[in-house]
C-alpha cells in the first residue's frame, strides 16, 4: 500500500500580546518546530509591542524566534514606526483590504523549502470593525492571483463577528488551504475541515497572559466598566499560554488533512 503524499505542517499562532506573548514565542516555537516537524510558522503580531501595535525590534525578535510570517489587524498602525517596517520587511503583512496606496502589502508567497511555496493572506472584517474595502470582494480576487503561484494558501481573517468569519471561510472553501480567525483573543472550539478541503478555526485565541481580560490587567478594565472613566490598560503577567492551531496540508493539492487547536503553557 502506497504511503501518503508529502504533507506541509504549519503552526498558526493567535494574537501575540506584549512582552509575555513574545517570551512565549521565543521559548516555545523552537520546541514546537522540533516536536511537530513544522515547515512554517505564521503568527498574528499586531499586539506584540507593549500590547498595542508592532515595531521593528519586536518584529525582529519574533522572526528571530522562528516565526516565518507576521500578520496584523486593526491595531497595525498603533506604532508610528510600523510604516517604515511595512515598507522594508516583506514578512510582515497588513490587512489586504486597505485602499490602494496604503503602505505595506496584504499577501505574500514564501518559500518553506526548495521547490515549495506557501502563500499567506491577511484580511480584516468589517462587522463591528473600522470600515475597509469589502473582504468578500477583495479576498477572492487575490486568492485567484495567488493560486497561479501555489495551491497552498493560508488566510488570517482578523474579524470580530463569528458569522463573518464562517461566511468568508465557506466562500473560500476549496480555494484556500486554511482560514483561521484572529482578533477576539478567545479561542473557539470549532476547528474543522470544510467540505471542499479548507481547514477552519473561528478564532485562534491569543498568546500572552491569561490571568487577565484579553491580556490586560483585570482591575483597570473592571473599573472602566464600573465607572466609565479612562483607565490605563497595562499588559498582565500571569499564566502565559501560546495559543493557535496546527494544520497539516497536502503538498500537491493544497487541501487540509488535519487541524488541531493548541494551548501551550509557558513553563
| Domain assignments of the chain as residue spans, ordered by start | 7-262
- pLDDT (tens digit, 9 = 90+) per residue, 96-122? 999 999 999 999 999 998 989 999 999
- pLDDT (tens digit, 9 = 90+) per residue, 192-249? 999 999 999 999 999 999 999 999 999 999 999 999 999 999 999 999 999 999 999 9
CA 187 from centroid of its chain's CA atoms = 12
List Cα–Cα distances, 181 to 92, 110, 189, 220, 250, in angstroms: 17, 20, 12, 27, 21
Positions marked catalytic: 75
Name the grid cell of 104.
Answer: 505595506
State the pTM of this model.
0.95
Contact at 8 Å (CB) between 110 and 152?
no
Residue 5 has pLDDT above 80, yes or no: no
Q: Which fold has domain 7-262?
A: Purple Acid Phosphatase; chain A, domain 2 (3.60.21)
Amino acid at each position: 500500500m502506497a504511503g501518503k503524499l508529502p504533507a506541509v505542517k504549519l503552526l498558526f499562532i493567535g494574537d501575540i500580546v506584549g512582552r509575555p506573548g513574545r517570551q512565549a514565542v521565543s521559548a516555545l516555537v523552537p520546541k514546537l518546530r522540533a516536536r511537530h516537524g513544522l515547515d512554517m510558522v505564521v503568527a498574528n503580531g499586531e499586539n506584540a509591542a507593549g500590547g498595542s501595535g508592532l515595531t521593528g525590534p519586536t518584529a525582529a525578535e519574533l522572526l528571530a524566534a522562528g516565526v516565518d510570517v507576521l500578520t496584523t489587524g486593526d491595531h497595525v498602525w498603533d506604532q508610528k514606526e510600523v510604516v517604515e517596517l511595512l515598507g522594508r520587511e516583506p514578512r510582515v503583512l497588513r490587512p489586504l483590504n486597505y485602499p490602494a496606496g496604503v503602505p505595506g502589502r496584504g499577501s505574500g508567497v514564501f518559500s518553506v523549502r526548495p521547490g515549495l511555496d506557501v502563500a499567506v493572506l491577511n484580511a480584516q472584517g468589517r462587522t463591528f470593525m473600522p470600515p475597509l474595502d469589502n473582504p468578500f470582494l477583495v479576498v477572492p480576487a487575490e486568492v485567484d492571483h495567488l493560486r497561479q503561484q501555489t495551491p497552498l494558501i493560508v488566510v488570517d481573517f482578523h474579524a470580530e463577528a463569528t458569522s463573518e468569519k464562517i461566511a468568508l471561510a465557506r466562500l473560500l472553501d476549496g480555494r484556500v488551504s486554511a482560514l483561521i480567525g484572529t482578533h477576539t483573543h478567545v479561542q473557539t472550539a470549532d476547528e474543522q475541515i470544510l467540505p471542499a478541503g479548507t481547514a477552519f478555526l473561528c478564532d485562534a485565541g491569543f498568546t500572552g497572559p491569561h490571568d487577565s481580560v484579553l491580556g490586560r490587567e483585570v482591575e483597570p478594565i473592571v473599573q472602566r466598566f464600573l465607572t466609565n472613566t479612562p483607565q490605563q490598560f497595562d499588559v498582565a503577567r500571569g499564566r502565559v499560554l501560546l495559543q493557535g492551531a496546527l494544520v497539516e496540508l497536502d503538498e500537491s493539492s493544497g487541501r487540509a488533512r488535519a487541524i488541531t487547536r493548541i494551548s501551550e503553557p509557558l513553563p
